[in-house]
Amino acid sequence: MPQSPTVAFIGLGIMGLPMAANLVSAGFTVRGYDRAPQQTDRFAGKGGTAASSLAEAVDGAGVVITMVPDSPDVDEAMFATGGVFDSAASGTLVIDMSTIRPDTARTVAEEGRIRGLRVLDAPVSGGETGAVEGVLSIMVGGDSADFHAAADVFAPLGTAVPVGPAGAGQTVKAANQLIVAGNIQLVAEALVFLEAHGVDTEAGLRVLNGGLAGSTVLTRKGEAMRHRRFEPGFRIGLHDKDMGIVTAAAREAGVPVPTGALVAQFIGALKAQGHGGLDHSALLALLDRIATEQK
């Protein structure tokens, strides 16, 4: 990789803005673009270079990073007229860090390859806090040589791990969302069960977390769940999108994820009922409602 290539950063939202800012702090020249002009302006306020269009951001950049909400947004960023594939020079490293469908990631990689681009899918976990602090967990799919070429760009953002060919990063992220949703649901079930039996749930969750039932969900969310504090965190609306990805990708691959499918229905119901803005631990609120007889 040439030293400190210019990085085009597309998508300066809750995650993208602090990530792009961390690249600026690490010494990269970063041209940022967001469909919402005020986000591009905020990035300029953090020392970034504001681009007035996606094409302007990408033109001449050695690395293009996209961090947008969903698969259609990635499709648009890549394939639209004036999009990444129109504007990036051959050999450019294109890193999509959005959380999208693995099959979309594979299509983007293949179409990019045809155009002489080097494409990685590199979704992250760790949330806004991880983005701000530069400690994201980055799951990377694509060619090994391209992964190594991207190492300097990943370093200010967090810890990157290569997990397989194109799409593999998105597959691991999908598996992550499956396990997280399920673990939250299980803690919720355990909690209503303990409460119904008059157990001291503070001591109960503590002793559970010390044994084979221990989990990062229990550590990070157990106390907030006990007190029914559901401020996000990670929103039901986004987790609903991700459960759609993992259940569809599992069906298409011929593997069953029955527990994931069950929890996907609960998350979908919460979203459809207007609770998409709550933290995903609000799965407990749905269970509370089933458990408590309405008078």
CA distance 80 to 96: 15
Which CB atom, from 34 or from 121, has the smaller least distance to its own copies? 121
Give, as ranges, the residues between 218 and 257 that touch its own copies (CB under 8 A). 218, 220, 246, 249-250, 253-257
Which CB atom, from 85 or from 230, has the smaller least distance to its own copies? 230
> And the tokens for 175?
């598996």
Radius of gyration, alpha carbons of the chain:
20
Pick one of 162, 222, 232, 276: the residue that binds its own copies (CB under 8 A): 162
What is the smallest separation between the CB atom of 107 and its own copies, expressed in angstroms?
Answer: 14
Contact 188, 284 (CB under 8 A): yes
Give, as ranges, the residues between 167 and 206 that touch its own copies (CB under 8 A). 167-168, 171-172, 174-176, 178-180, 182-183, 185-187, 189-190, 192-200, 203-204, 206
Give, as ranges, the residues between 37 and 76 that touch its own copies (CB under 8 A). none
Which CB atom, from 66 or from 215, has the smaller least distance to its own copies? 215
What is the smallest separation between the CB atom of 270 and its own copies, expressed in angstroms?
Answer: 14
49 strand-pairing partners: 31
In single-letter form, the type of residue at position 209 comes to N
Q: Site for its own copies (CB under 8 A): how many residues?
A: 71
What is the smallest separation between the CB atom of 147 and its own copies, expressed in angstroms?
Answer: 11
Give, as ranges, the residues between 121 and 160 that touch its own copies (CB under 8 A). 125-126, 137, 139, 141, 159
Question: Cis peptide leading into 233, omega within 30 of 0?
Answer: yes
- Using alpha carbons only, what angle is made at residue 185 by residues 231 and 179, rounded to the nearest 5 degrees? 100
Catalytic residues: 173
Contact 20, 50 (CB under 8 A): no
Which CB atom, from 55 or from 184, has the smaller least distance to its own copies? 184
Which SS3 state, helix, strand or coil, does residue 88 take? coil
Which residues are within 8 A (CB) of 162 and not within 5 positions of it... i.e. 6 or more apart? 140, 141, 142, 144, 147
* Contact call for residue 21 and its own copies (CB under 8 A): no
